[in-house]
Chains A and B, each alone.
Chain A
């Protein structure tokens, strides 16, 4: 069964600190993996996307890594800001799907305190 598991479920950090969010998946065949940021009451917004051959991808203070062998990904946030408070969702796409079928994790709810 294709699944995406994220940890931790929730996380509280102080402003300026770094944090790392984890994602494990069983989706096969694998096409790509995205991290989305979803602010409360809003739709998800794509942060990074990585294909099978990519190990790391950065977008400003966000750095995503991918280990396709162990089927794990992480999202590292550097020097956190209050605006980083949101749900971070790991999304995996299976290869060869004309639908563009996506498998969503439940997200990690990040709260940044001043």
Chain B
């Protein structure tokens, strides 16, 4: 069982609000990821981090931003939410082992279901 947590689990907000989705893990993993997933669709990588003070944009363009001030914490922020941001947001982390010891397995949090009205 992965020790990775996301809050809130569900969020319904109005357009224009600023929101922060929280993600934390207690496994000491350096690599962390944010994915966006629409119903019936594949996960799309929107942000990732190799470690503290390291953040990069992923494959899917996103208006969100992330920060990595502490190893265990990787919050995602939307400055001004819009209905197009309605989606499920999944946070994940990966162990620090290098190949061949690493399995590349990413451990996922339970997700945040965001609805912007």
Contacts and interface: CB of A to CB of B under 8 A. Distances in A.
B108 interface: yes
B105 A34 contact: yes
**Listed residue (A89, A100, A105) with the most chain B CB atoms within 10 angstroms of its CB:** A100
Contacts of A105: 42
A44 B2 CA distance: 11
Interface residues of A, number: 23
- Size class of the B contact interface (CB-based, 8 Å): 20 to 34
A49 B103 contact: yes
B114 interface: no
A43 B90 contact: yes
A105 B42 CA distance: 6
A4 B43 CA distance: 12
Contacts of A88: none
A51 B60 CA distance: 27
B111 A41 contact: yes
Contact of A31 (B31, B45, B104): B104
Contacts of B103: 32, 49
Contacts of A25: none
A60 B92 CA distance: 25
B108 A104 contact: no
A102 interface: yes
Interface of B: 2, 4, 6, 9, 31, 40-43, 45, 48, 50, 90-92, 94, 102-111, 113
9 contacts: A9-B40, A41-B9, A41-B110, A42-B110, A43-B90, A43-B92, A44-B43, A46-B107, A102-B106
